[in-house]
Chain A
Amino acid sequence: MKLIDDMISPAWRGTYTLFKKELFRFWRVAFQTVASPILTALLYLLIFSHALEGHVQVYKGVQYQAFLIPGLIMMSLLQNAFANSSSSLVQSKIMGSIVFVLLTPISYLQFFCAFLAAAIIRGVLVGFSIYVVAIWFVDLPITHPAWILAFALLGSALLGTFGIIAGIWADKFDQMAAFQNFVIMPLTFLSGVFYSIHSLPPIWQAISKFNPFFYMIDGFRYGFFGQGDISPWISLTVVTAFLLVLAWLCLKMLKSGYKLRG
């Protein structure tokens, strides 16, 4: 760590320090921020795979247990990327300690990069940990690693950005909880974590296609099995477009000082 510290140029040291602080912040409470989502994902795996194994075959030649794992990894990755930036921001706003960052020369773009990078790291770390634990129990192929990596990074970036927006907007913890329970959770559960949208009635299939989480999970799953509900290129386009729109909105909020600088 000290070696990296010395390698960073003074111009980027502010951004790097904020990123490092955000990493340390979640790592200090790793039991809650890393271990707990891993356990939750494994419980989902245990319960759903036992309940539905033999009843559901989603893709030809793919066990339901194996089908489930990429969805669970992506779900946890997305939720944790969101939680990292949103909870850090709302907490430091309520505690007042956000002022220590706002008083510094760190620009709005650097602020965005630091929070985003930390959110990506936490999302990917949680996702990777679930993968490492899950492959002890289930045989999981990796057909296209580049797609897996692309969707893991884009997904965590998208939700990390969304988390920054939510963190800036929310003034209270219950507003943040509402975001998590009424936006993130339904979008995740209705995105195909536990099923293929082809198993749904046509109307629900059509509705699912308006859910950006569906594209992240489907594209990610394609990387494992080489098959999905739609082409990974379409998913990549949709996810990238969503990311760009949210990043634009987030940078606009940060630049204007919305709810941060009066």
Chain B
Amino acid sequence: MTIPAIQINNIHKQFGDLQALNGIDLTINQGEFFGLLGPNGAGKSTLINVMAGLLKPTQGNVAIMGHDTVNAYQAARMALGVVPQELVFDPFFNVREMLRFQAGYFGRGRENDVWVDEVIESLGLTDKAHTNMRKLSGGMKRRALIAQALVHKPPVIVLDEPTAGVDVELRQMLWQFIKRLNKDGHTIILTTHYLEEAETLCERVAMMKDGKIVALDTTANLLSKLPGKNLRLVLGEATLPTTLFPMLKSGQNGVFTLALTELSQIEFALSELRKANIAVQDMQLIEADLEDVFMSLVGVHANEKAIA
């Protein structure tokens, strides 16, 4: 049997009175593209920090490629590349120097310089290789952070919200890059606020809330759990008839979204609108997405579009 890329057993983490992680069990197989979703404070970053050895669990253990993160921490860290969420950098060095130092910390010597240059090129940092980290734009710093996690060729890569605050073009570029890493055999664990991102990239998803995993399944299975569709109605100045309120998912500025459990409800909705003499200006039938699954599980209000 193949060793799992990440094996998390009954992890608890307590900060004073706060139970940040409350019994997490999770197995991520080698080669998987795995998504970790959840609102702020759900415990995603805490879990990543425990995996990376930056936090010690109050209880439980984690193994990276079969190496325990406490008893065999050196082998475990060799197998793991972490892209932190914050745009942190060392202001004394340029991109190439910083990457070579990072590779050196992992025991890599000058023979690794070719790989460092390859990573620099793949992430479009060649022009900035001699630029001080301090002088890079936010997007470039983000790329450098990703490069930093790759310099020692780790089989498992954890990206903690890699596309937070980056523009659409860079997001697409990073998606392509991360997909390629996964295709090349790297196991990818991605935390994200963007459900669209998880839906596009991840084969399997865990949803967290209050330090617990509330859903763990393939993305396809999670989506199939909510067969319902959404009906989006643009009514202009008119208000929604009260008979449709039980179906209402969200409503703002004359645009109402109704959650449908079966398609026959469309006819019911339209007849109620006719009865109330309300003209429909526009209408759309929308497939349920991960956000709907997420909201049904986590209970976050629909207006919080970018699930925090």
Contact = CB atoms under 8 A, between A and B. Distances in A.
A binds B: yes
Interface of A: 2, 5-6, 8, 10-11, 13-14, 16-18, 20-21, 24-25, 28-29, 92, 95-97, 99-107, 257, 261-262
B84 A99 contact: yes
22 contacts: A10-B109, A13-B104, A14-B105, A14-B106, A14-B107, A18-B105, A20-B104, A24-B93, A24-B97, A92-B90, A96-B84, A97-B90, A99-B88, A103-B53, A104-B102, A104-B105, A105-B78, A105-B105, A105-B106, A106-B105, A257-B56, A262-B55
Interface residues of B, number: 33
A22 to B, nearest CB: 10
Given A13-B104, A95-B90, A103-B77, 13 more contacts: A6-B109, A11-B107, A18-B104, A20-B101, A96-B84, A96-B86, A96-B88, A97-B88, A102-B54, A103-B52, A104-B106, A105-B75, A262-B55
A261 B53 contact: yes
B301 interface: no
B2 to A, nearest CB: 23
A81 B56 CA distance: 31
Nearest to A105: B74
Contacts of B78: 105
A13 B74 CA distance: 14
Interface in B91-107: 91-93, 97, 101-102, 104-107
A206 B55 CA distance: 46
B53 A5 contact: no
A104 B101 contact: no
B83 to A, nearest CB: 10
A103 B74 contact: no
B225 interface: no
Nearest to A101: B105
B74 A17 contact: no
Nearest to A27: B92
A106 B74 CA distance: 7
Interface in B35-82: 49, 52-56, 73-75, 77-78, 80, 82
Contacts of A261: 53-56
Contact of A104 (B75, B77, B86, B89): B77
Contacts of B49: 262
Contacts of B90: 92, 95, 97, 100
Given A103-B77, A105-B78, A257-B56, A14 B104 contact: yes
Given A97-B88, A100-B90, A107-B74, A13 B148 contact: no
Contact of A97 (B54, B82, B89, B109): B89
Residue among A6, A8, A107, A261 facing the most chain B CB atoms (10 A cut-off): A261
Residue among B75, B78, B105, B148 facing the most chain A CB atoms (10 A cut-off): B105
B91 A95 contact: yes
B54 A100 contact: no
B82 A103 contact: yes
A109 B267 CA distance: 72
Contacts of B104: 13-14, 16-18, 20-21
A25 B82 CA distance: 24
A123 B6 CA distance: 44
B275 interface: no
Interface string B1-24: 000000000000001000000000
Residue among B84, B86, B107, B148 facing the most chain A CB atoms (10 A cut-off): B107
B77 A262 contact: no
B130 interface: no
B88 A95 contact: yes
A24 B92 contact: yes
Nearest to B98: A100
Nearest 3 pairs between A and B by C-beta?
A17-B104, A96-B88, A105-B74
A250 B259 CA distance: 60
A24 B94 CA distance: 12
Contacts of B56: 257, 261-262
B86 A2 contact: no
A92 B75 CA distance: 25
A13 B109 CA distance: 7
A100 B92 contact: no
Interface string B25-36: 000000000000
